[in-house]
């Protein structure tokens, strides 16, 4: 069993599209893992959309979540649990990270059908996390790399990667949940918000500037903090040093904590 609170990192589908970014991430993780356990969760929505278009299946979304038909589910599983997961694991291992590729369906989490199944289709949400299984992997020096594909009653389901990462971070008592994508954080009136209170997220969702994929990110960040993570941050990958800087509280994203307030200096250009 590990006694050090892990860092949980969720990689958005476009977070590492820049040339050389996966190799840079591997080098940074190799350094971080020597100091702290790390769990990775990855998306891959852009690639799922590209494959869907190749196969003549239109991508549809509802409140930032992918509407998943049975045909789309097959693409989601093939891309996320297959190509995207193994490609990332290969890149990490080449950089010296002792990565192991899994999905939520591999004994990591119990998944339940989404309450909006009628609208979203083959989509699930996180029920419980097998913390002991993950802690055994972390204690052995492994870095779990988790695809957001789950199962319920023998049936595969698409799971929002932000939600999976939040459940992991809360259950494991993470020192931080880092939600990395191609956006630097929450912007209100074109200004980047540095810090928000986890208990104010529902109010923020009513703001007209909070749209698309930012909605599930904010909900996931707040959920992680409420479940036991010390804090969460929504940020963009900005090359080597990104994760270490965020873990140390450096500016560059929107931090979500309990009892945080939007002070007069809480937003910047």
Annotated active-site positions, please?
10, 13, 45, 162, 217
- Tell me which residue has tokens 């969460």: 232
Helices and strands: H and E segment counts in the chain:
10, 17
With contact defined as beta carbons under 8 Å apart, do 165 and 233 qualify?
A: no
Nearest alpha carbon to residue 126 among 92, 87, 152, 96: 152
With contact defined as beta carbons under 8 Å apart, do 24 and 180 qualify?
A: no
With contact defined as beta carbons under 8 Å apart, do 159 and 145 qualify?
A: no
Cα separation, 94 vs 92, whole angstroms: 5
Cα separation, 56 vs 123, whole angstroms: 21
Environment class of 189 (CB within 10 Å of its CB; exposed 0-12, middle 13-18, buried 19+): exposed
């Amino acid at each position: 069993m590990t006694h050090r609170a892990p860092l949980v990192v969720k990689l958005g589908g476009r977070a590492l599209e820049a040339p050389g970014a996966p190799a840079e991430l591997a080098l940074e993780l190799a350094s971080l893992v020597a100091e702290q356990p790390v769990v990775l969760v990855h998306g891959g929505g852009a690639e799922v959309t590209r494959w869907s278009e190749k196969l003549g299946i239109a991508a549809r979304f509802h409140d930032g979540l992918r509407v998943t038909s049975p045909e789309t589910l097959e693409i989601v599983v093939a891309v996320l649990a297959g190509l995207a997961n193994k490609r990332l694991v290969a890149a990490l291992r080449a950089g010296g990270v002792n990565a192991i590729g899994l999905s939520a369906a591999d004994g990591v989490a119990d998944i339940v059908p989404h309450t909006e199944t009628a609208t979203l289709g083959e989509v699930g949400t996180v029920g419980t996390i097998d913390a002991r299984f993950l802690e055994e992997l972390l204690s052995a020096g492994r870095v779990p790399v988790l695809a957001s594909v789950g199962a319920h009653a023998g049936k595969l389901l698409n799971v929002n990667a932000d939600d999976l990462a939040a459940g992991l971070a809360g259950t494991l008592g993470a020192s931080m949940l880092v939600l990395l994508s191609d956006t630097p954080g929450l912007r209100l009136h074109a200004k980047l918000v540095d810090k928000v209170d986890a208990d104010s997220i529902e109010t923020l969702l009513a703001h007209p500037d909070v749209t698309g994929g930012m909605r599930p990110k904010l909900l996931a960040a707040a959920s992680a903090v409420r479940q036991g993570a010390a804090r969460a941050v929504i940020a963009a990958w900005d090359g080597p040093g990104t994760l270490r800087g965020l873990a140390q509280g450096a500016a560059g994203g929107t931090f979500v904590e309990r009892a945080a307030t939007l002070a007069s200096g809480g937003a910047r250009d």
